[in-house]
């Protein structure tokens, strides 16, 4: 509350980093000028299994050799050329002189996670362990390792090219079969990245079109500018050359003016919550700006001066206006009559933005619906958690409760009962009392449960869903893959090469994403992924202790462990203590969450900050919009994670020196 005016303040972080255009990735590529086994110069031959790749030639000269459905081809490359090729195109860059390319890659993150398969000889492709060893850039001389890998890929490529020239494109079938078999275990992780990236971006465009057609400001109020600073340090060694990458996890807000405008818009919107439209001036009183490793935040203090009030027009038989029909609603919303009918009857197959628009028009026209959507505004929402004994859950609750206090809404807290309970038992309880909406946290949502809530017309938002939610279901999460990546990169930069991981439950989306980020960081650094160093467990302290003990009892124990939660990290602390290992002198530990206690343990824990309270508040904001019939700007909100370096990580211990001879 503003002490000068008595008006609620508008203060919130700048929105999470929006997905880069079309969920693509951009990279600056300097193609290798090393001689190849066939007397040319250039990079490794490889294929993408699920992603389209594009090139814009910046400088130099070269050629692109391809194997595809039309056989073998070679295309010259000159500055200004723009080329692209779909999955299944085996390609090799030839450098004829200082060739530099801007690479635009579909499905950012997938190529680093194994979507790019090198054209190694068949004996190497047939064995995942042998392939991983051949693809890894190990040893002190990374350049030499990259060159050996490139030469092996060219050797396999030349054999494959000869087969295509003799037999035609059918000669590629065995290679493609081996490549798909090689990556089959990663498809679930890829699917989740696709859902949260490319698919979510495409669906968001559909929602934007709905808003434009309806004349709703919506997404246009969220403009702004983001940038990724040029990475420091030398370019990394990739398949085709030296790479300068621009990971979205390191994006920062580049503007501030629009952020203030957006905050002021939130103040204005809050004044229209309860059926009155206020024509208001908003005065910005102060700004506090801060920055972190992954973003910039601004807190805006303001006041609202009311100039006038406009009441919504009531329409109905009593004022002589003809009763509104569904056709009228459909025309105003810019949708079909069957779509409006689906909303009225509680059908699930309607996009949330469209549903919210139609619901708002139905309310404005006071269209009578029998049993379809019971009156709301009980002033109560439900927060359903997977458990009530976790500090993680407390932080989520704190964010939801703060939103509730600001909006004069009560929050009822309950826990999901698993085991032998009926699948929809907790939803039955919700539909039996008067609730305005539900926030479900880290729980599996079945089709039966979702149908029961939709049938009762109860808005729902999920936070960190265990299983992939339907695309139309609003959800809130964090950049789990980026968090796993930066945590592991931090350990690698300290000099660790044998890094273990205690992940969350293997079937949790967030667990898989964090482990994928861990794996990608290892592979980017040329460190082979060792499945024996990964242990799946629950996120509790006890599980961290048990799985950490298993890793530390190995004869080749890791020098660092990345834990999937802070509580697991505390368990690893205890496992190390019982074995006489010191943190960080003998073992470095990184957690995930940044719970309040993380800074008070000894030593203070290095961890990935997951903005739990902000996630709760974001979910509550989305739910509030759904309750009010305000179209959502996006069905998926992902808040940025940030590495917080404290005292639990250090360079690995020096290997023991043999005693001097007597």
Give the pLDDT band of residue 86 (cuts 50, 70, 90): very high
Contact 572, 614 (CB under 8 A): no
Query: What's the pLDDT at 8?
Result: 32
Query: What's the pLDDT at 209?
Result: 83
More confident residue, 358 or 485: 485
Pick the range with the lowest mean pLDDT from 316-330, 612-626, 629-643. Answer: 316-330
Give the pLDDT band of residue 319 (cuts 50, 70, 90): very low
Query: What's the pLDDT at 314?
Result: 32
Query: What's the pLDDT at 9?
Result: 33
Indicate whether 323 pLDDT > 60. no
* Number of Cβ within a 10 Å radius of residue 345: 12
**H or E element that contains 549:** helix 541-552
- Using DSSP's 3-state secondary structure scheme, residue 414 falls into strand
Indicate whether 609 pLDDT > 90. yes
DSSP state of 195: I
Indicate whether 128 pLDDT > 60. yes
Section 576-599 average pLDDT: 94
Query: What's the pLDDT at 436?
Result: 86
More confident residue, 66 or 389: 66
Indicate whether 301 pLDDT > 70. no
Section 86-99 average pLDDT: 94
Give the pLDDT band of residue 604 (cuts 50, 70, 90): very high
Give the pLDDT band of residue 3 (cuts 50, 70, 90): very low
Cα–Cα distances in Å, from 108 out to 57, 196, 273, 433, 529?
Answer: 20, 11, 39, 44, 20
Please tell me the distance from the alpha carbon of residue 653 to that of residue 590, in angstroms, as a whole number.
Answer: 17
Please tell me the distance from the alpha carbon of residue 365 to that of residue 187, in angstroms, as a whole number.
Answer: 47
Contact 532, 551 (CB under 8 A): no
Give the pLDDT band of residue 461 (cuts 50, 70, 90): very high
Which residues, in sequence order, are bridge partners of residue 608?
592, 643
- Using DSSP's 3-state secondary structure scheme, residue 655 falls into coil
Query: What's the pLDDT at 637?
Result: 86
Section 617-646 average pLDDT: 88
Task: Pick from 299-308, 310-319, 597-606, 653-662 the range whose average pLDDT is largest.
Answer: 597-606
Task: Pick from 208-212, 521-525, 652-656 the range whose average pLDDT is largest.
Answer: 521-525
* Number of Cβ within a 10 Å radius of residue 623: 25
Q: What's the start-to-end Cα distance of the chain, in Å?
A: 77
Give the pLDDT band of residue 387 (cuts 50, 70, 90): confident
Segment 30-54, tens digit of pLDDT: 999 999 988 999 999 999 999 999 9
Cα–Cα distances in Å, from 553 out to 546, 549, 556, 571, 578?
Answer: 11, 6, 8, 15, 11
Query: What's the pLDDT at 491?
Result: 96
User: Who contacts 319 (Cβ-Cβ below 8 Å, separation ≥6)?
Assistant: none
Query: What's the pLDDT at 568?
Result: 96
Contact 266, 304 (CB under 8 A): no
Contact 329, 365 (CB under 8 A): yes
Query: What's the pLDDT at 305?
Result: 37
- Annotate 362-379 with DSSP letters as a single string: HHHTT---SSSS-----S
Indicate whether 98 pLDDT > 50. yes
Section 105-110 average pLDDT: 81
Indicate whether 350 pLDDT > 80. no
Cis peptide upstream of residue 603 (ω within 30 degrees of 0): yes
Give helix then strand counts, H and E, for the chain: 18, 25
3-state secondary structure labels for all residues of 423-436: CCHHHHHHHCCCCC
Radius of gyration of the chain (CA): 28
Looking at every residue in the chain, the average pLDDT score rounds to 78
Indicate whether 353 pLDDT > 60. yes
Give the pLDDT band of residue 13 (cuts 50, 70, 90): very low
pTM above 0.75, yes or no: no
Please tell me the distance from the alpha carbon of residue 424 to that of residue 572, in angstroms, as a whole number.
Answer: 36
Pick the range with the lowest mean pLDDT from 185-194, 216-225, 588-597, 605-614. Answer: 216-225
Segment 141-179, tens digit of pLDDT: 888 999 999 999 999 999 999 988 888 888 899 999 999
Q: Is 224 exposed, middle or buried (0-12, 13-18, 19+ CB in 10 A)?
A: middle
Residue among 536, 533, 532 nearest 565 (CA): 536
Q: Is 630 exposed, middle or buried (0-12, 13-18, 19+ CB in 10 A)?
A: buried
Cα–Cα distances in Å, from 25 out to 28, 54, 197, 510, 579?
Answer: 10, 10, 11, 22, 44
Give the pLDDT band of residue 375 (cuts 50, 70, 90): very low
Indicate whether 254 pLDDT > 70. no
Indicate whether 451 pLDDT > 90. no
DSSP state of 22: G
Pick the range with the lowest mean pLDDT from 108-112, 311-315, 396-400. Answer: 311-315
Task: Pick from 180-189, 307-316, 361-370 the range whose average pLDDT is largest.
Answer: 180-189
Strand 438-441 and strand 241-245: pairing?
unpaired
Please tell me the distance from the alpha carbon of residue 4 to that of residue 509, in angstroms, as a whole number.
Answer: 46
Query: What's the pLDDT at 417?
Result: 55
More confident residue, 7 or 356: 356
Give the pLDDT band of residue 651 (cuts 50, 70, 90): very high
Please tell me the distance from the alpha carbon of residue 87 to that of residue 30, in angstroms, as a whole number.
Answer: 22
Task: Pick from 332-341, 364-373, 423-432 the range whose average pLDDT is largest.
Answer: 332-341
Task: Pick from 265-274, 281-290, 386-395, 415-424 the range whose average pLDDT is largest.
Answer: 386-395
Helix axes 142-167, 128-135, angle to 10 degrees: 120
Indicate whether 262 pLDDT > 60. no
Residue among 29, 22, 94 nearest 55 (CA): 29
Query: What's the pLDDT at 423?
Result: 41
Give the pLDDT band of residue 4 (cuts 50, 70, 90): very low
DSSP state of 199: I
């Amino acid at each position: 509350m503003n002490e000068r005016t008595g008006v609620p303040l508008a203060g919130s972080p700048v929105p999470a980093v929006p997905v880069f255009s079309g969920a693509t990735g951009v990279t600056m590529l300097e193609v290798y000028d090393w001689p190849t086994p066939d007397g040319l110069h250039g990079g490794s031959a490889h294929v993408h299994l699920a992603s389209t790749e594009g090139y814009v030639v910046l400088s130099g000269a070269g050629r692109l050799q391809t194997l595809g459905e039309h056989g073998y081809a070679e295309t010259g490359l000159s500055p200004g050329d723009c080329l692209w090729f779909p999955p299944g195109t085996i390609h090799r860059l030839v450098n004829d002189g200082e060739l530099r390319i801007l690479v635009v890659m579909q499905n950012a993150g997938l190529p680093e996670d194994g979507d790019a398969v090198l054209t190694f000889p068949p004996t190497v492709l047939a064995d995942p362990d042998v392939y991983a060893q051949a693809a890894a850039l190990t040893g002190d001389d990374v350049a030499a390792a990259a060159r050996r890998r490139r030469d092996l890929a060219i050797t396999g490529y030349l054999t494959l090219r000869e087969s295509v020239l003799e037999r035609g494109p059918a000669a590629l079938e065995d290679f493609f079969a081996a490549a798909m078999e090689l990556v089959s275990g990663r498809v679930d992780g890829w699917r989740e990245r696709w859902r949260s990236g490319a698919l979510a971006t495409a669906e968001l465009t559909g929602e934007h079109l709905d808003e434009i057609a309806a004349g709703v400001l919506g997404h246009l109020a969220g403009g702004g500018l983001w940038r990724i600073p040029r990475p420091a340090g030398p370019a990394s060694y990739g398949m085709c050359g030296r790479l300068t990458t621009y990971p979205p996890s390191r994006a920062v807000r580049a503007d501030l003016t629009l952020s203030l405008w957006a905050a002021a818009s939130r103040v204005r919107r809050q004044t229209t919550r309860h059926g009155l439209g206020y024509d208001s001036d908003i005065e910005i009183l102060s700004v506090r700006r801060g920055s972190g490793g992954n973003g910039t935040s601004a807190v805006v203090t303001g006041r609202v001066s009311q100039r006038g009030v406009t009441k919504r027009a009531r329409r109905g038989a009593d004022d002589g206006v003809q009763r509104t029909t569904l056709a009228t609603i459909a025309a105003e919303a810019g949708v079909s009559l069957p779509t409006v009918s689906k909303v009225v009857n509680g059908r699930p197959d309607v996009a949330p933005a469209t549903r919210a628009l139609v619901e708002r028009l139905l309310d404005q026209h006071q269209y009578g619906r029998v049993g379809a959507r019971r009156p709301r505004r009980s002033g109560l929402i439900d927060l359903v958690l997977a458990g009530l004994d976790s500090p993680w859950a407390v932080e989520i609750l704190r964010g939801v409760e703060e939103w509730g206090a600001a909006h004069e809404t009560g929050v009822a807290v309950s826990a999901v009962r698993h085991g032998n309970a009926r699948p929809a038992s907790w939803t039955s309880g919700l539909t039996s009392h008067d609730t305005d909406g539900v926030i479900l946290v880290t729980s599996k949502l079945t089709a039966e449960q979702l149908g029961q809530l939709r049938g009762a017309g109860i808005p729902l938002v999920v936070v960190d869903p265990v299983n992939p939610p339907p695309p139309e279901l609003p959800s809130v999460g964090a950049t789990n893959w980026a968090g796993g990546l930066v945590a592991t990169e931090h350990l690698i930069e300290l000099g660790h090469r044998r890094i273990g991981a205690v992940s969350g439950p293997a079937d949790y989306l967030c667990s898989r994403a964090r482990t994928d980020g861990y794996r990608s960081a290892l592979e980017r650094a040329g460190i082979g992924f060792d499945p024996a160093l990964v242990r799946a467990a629950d996120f509790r302290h006890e599980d961290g202790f048990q799985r950490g003990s298993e890793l530390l009892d190995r004869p080749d124990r890791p020098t660092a462990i990345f834990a999937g939660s802070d509580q697991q990290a505390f368990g690893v602390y205890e496992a190390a203590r019982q074995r006489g290992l010191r943190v960080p002198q003998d073992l470095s530990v990184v957690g995930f969450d940044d719970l309040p206690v993380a800074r008070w343990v000894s030593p203070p824990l290095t961890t990935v900050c997951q903005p739990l309270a902000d996630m709760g508040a974001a979910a509550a904001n989305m739910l509030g919009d759904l309750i009010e019939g305000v179209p959502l700007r996006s069905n998926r909100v992902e808040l940025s994670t940030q590495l917080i370096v404290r005292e639990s990580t250090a360079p690995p211990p020096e290997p023991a020196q043999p005693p001097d001879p007597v």
